[in-house]
Chains A and B, each alone.
Chain A
Amino acid sequence: MPIVLDARIPAGPIEQKWDRCRFEMKLVNPANRRKHTVLIIGSGLAGAAAAATLGEQGYHVQCFSYHDTPRRAHSIAAQGGINAAKNYRNDGDSVFRLFYDTVKGGDFRAREANSYRLAQVSVDIIDQCVAQGVPFARDYGGLLETRSFGGVQVERTFYARGQTGQQLLLGAYQALERQIAAGTVTMHPRTEMLDLVVVDGKARGIVTRNLQTGAIQSHVGDVVVLATGGYSNVFYLSTNAKASNCTAIWRAHRRGALFGNPCFTQIHPTCIPQAGEYQSKLTLMSESLRNDGRIWVPKQKGDTRKPNDIPDSERDYYLEHRYPSFGNLVPRDVASRNAKEVSDEGRGVGPGGHGVYLDFRSAIDRLGIDVVRDRYGNLFEIYERITGDDAYRVPMRIYPAPHYTMGGLWVDYHLMSTIPGLFVGGEANFSDQGANRLGASALMQGLSDGYFILPATVPDYLAKAELSHVDTSHRAFRDAEEEIHQRTRALLHIDGERTVDSFHRELGRLMWDNCGMARSDASLRRALAKIPELRDEFHKNVRVLGTEEELNQSLEKAGRVADFLELGELMCTDALHRTESCGGHFRIESQTPDGEAKRDDTKFCYVAAWEWTGPGQAPALHQEPLTFEHVHLAQRSYK
């Protein structure tokens, strides 16, 4: 059956689309809501907010998390803040401006209607979070503080010190715990979704593994919501938490959900570089450091002198001279690419030459050490804790790291995937962010989807869907359980020579070198040749000890890495087909004479949605054309 990608964007002026959509949606009578079971996978911002809200409405919600408690989800690590078009500053902000910034920042690869709705809902999110007791920054009059973020010209970012994600997640977690106590939500901690079950073409349940006992269990629902985050850990080293993985969305993809723009990944320019082979993750340093820090590398290749011994005349402040008007404040993708370029030339600093200096000497001379301490003290402390270096005296070393994935499962305006009854929220969907996400917009999208969009669109589906009675004795559930048992036993049975981590590291290296900050036809073809070889070796030579029926962290990792080994190939396939550069996707062959990303709007103004066609087979490409009526297509320039 051919797949028709109907984004279900409501008719009418962009300002009225969401209101019209809400009015046209069917409702479920309060007395009937408890008869519907909603399965929600993930308890981060999108998942916890959706579970709490649908529970409040009276639905019977089952929420699943592989953590010991829902409060651990990786949304917690977001530092900077959350955007909202409140215009409390009276500085010219509006819903339309936030929408405009989002579409342009996403380099014209986002759906206008979705981005507009995101900007619209942003104002309600702040109200909701404040009512819950989220301790946002306040001024002395008791009003909310905001700051500017990510190069936009208005101050629309609300924040809670450097721990905004933590505070927003705790707000959603507490709302969720309240519903658990009320009996509307049943929480399943330490439970990992390993497959999606589709019956008569509709998502009707999931199969999970209890991580403590190993028990494989089926769960039936009327609708399934995935809110399982992004897949940056395909690179092994990223700013994501160690357990963040693609298994839930990948298994749904294999069951028929199309995957949108898998190659759109965001590389964050200011992370602490890798110190050695044993490195397990990368730590982000707030982008705000670039406001006063100057980025440089030695002019000479292989200069091993200590940074303070290198005189100014022998330093290359490369961003300042290449981009005189934006200097050290160029956007994330530009800063990242330039750091890679100078490192690849052999001028990188630190172990392995993967790093550039971020120097505060002139800021300290200009402002005094106390002002610098006041502005960045906590960040200097984090840096010192990890590296042992005092950044007041020696320059920091930084390097880009994978941070966020704009790609994800394709969803329509209702956030429903190509499988009826399977909804996807937050970073797990292909998102409202286009090819590049602006700072402080991830938290906004997670909460918009969780508190406001899904609780409106999921009931509409439930009201309209004609669902037959299904229980776990249905063959589709039995088959899925059996497949999981077989997969698990196969992994335990291999008893090869290499650990799971060694494969994950190798895949990460491959992806980073060939499908990272800059991609070329040759590099992508290289990766596409090597990934299947690595995958074959994994299934022949991995060593997973222990049994199925116990807490077995190696087994958990093995299942996740097996899925990353398939997703990596799809990312490269997508990156190879998109011969333009846009946002975080930079194809070496497609750049302007000044080395900037060059889009090709005549050929690539669409969402690439990939269909799984079977193991080892080429995926099929479907296109959703994008049209821009309000924000006109233009080339970005930061010179």
Chain B
Amino acid sequence: MNALLEMHEIKKTFPVRKGIFQRIVGQVAAVNGVSLSIERGRTLGLVGESGCGKSTLAKMLVGLYPPSDGEILFEGKVLAGPDTGAEFDATRKIQIVFQDPYSSLDPRLPVGDSIAEGLVIHGIGDNKSRRKKVGEILELVGLPPQAGDRYPHEFSGGQRQRIGIARALIMDPEFVVCDEPTSALDVSVQAQILNLLKKLQAELNLTMMFISHNLAVVKHVADDVMVMYLGRVAEVAPVDDLFANPRHPYTKALLSATPIADPERRGERIKLTGELPSPINPPPGCPFHPRCPLANDRCKSEVPALLPAGPATVACHAVEEGRDAA
């Protein structure tokens, strides 16, 4: 095992404040004990519905939030944890591509300056070599090198996302977090950006975490897939295995909800009842039990552990007990 990035029992809670004195009345557990490891050169797809903690996880990775508990290891070194107190020092090696290409570029800066900002801050190269590098990286993402002199409002959404990717890549990162990089783009452009990301990953030997709520996209780019539900990991599996043979009842429901572009094939639709519970007040036991068709008394009281099941690891009592065969 050559894990580039590991997370151990990562938690992130946000205080809920109320009243004039901003009293803390509760905690939202956005991420509640997530452990994972990503090997060098592989892509982990992260899926789950809105509010399940995907983006919070990504922001902790790039140092935008410190985790409340647990630790993140990068290349075997502790990157962040509640007690390290150290400033995030891997800002160069871990980069992020944001979701919304319209707000991720400073409208008042020429995009070349936005791209080169990391180089300037980390004191890499002089003005001339930076300019040259910006040109090279723009060509790499399929834009003319002169584009660096222009401003963000002169580009389309797809072009802006390419610029966002260029900004991440100019630091020669080893790990790139893509926080739903295609969800703000239209379908034809989505495909271009995805193929660009795949191509760049192969060329530059990048390790990626790819966050999305579009399962088809994840299927296209990921090697492994992690399904999250309400701040916890539900299932981790290699991509083909997950799509062919989902184990966790939530994964099954998620997959069955994917639209299929074939009117003849009507997949069996598993309809979940109820709403996503509030993370301020999560249900006891398995977070999924109020909506789970297989829930029993054990699920209502005991949090399931992530256990290996074939090539996958699943957090579900029903799978563990073999009740999921139906």
Bound together: no
Chain B interface residues toward A at CB < 8 A: none
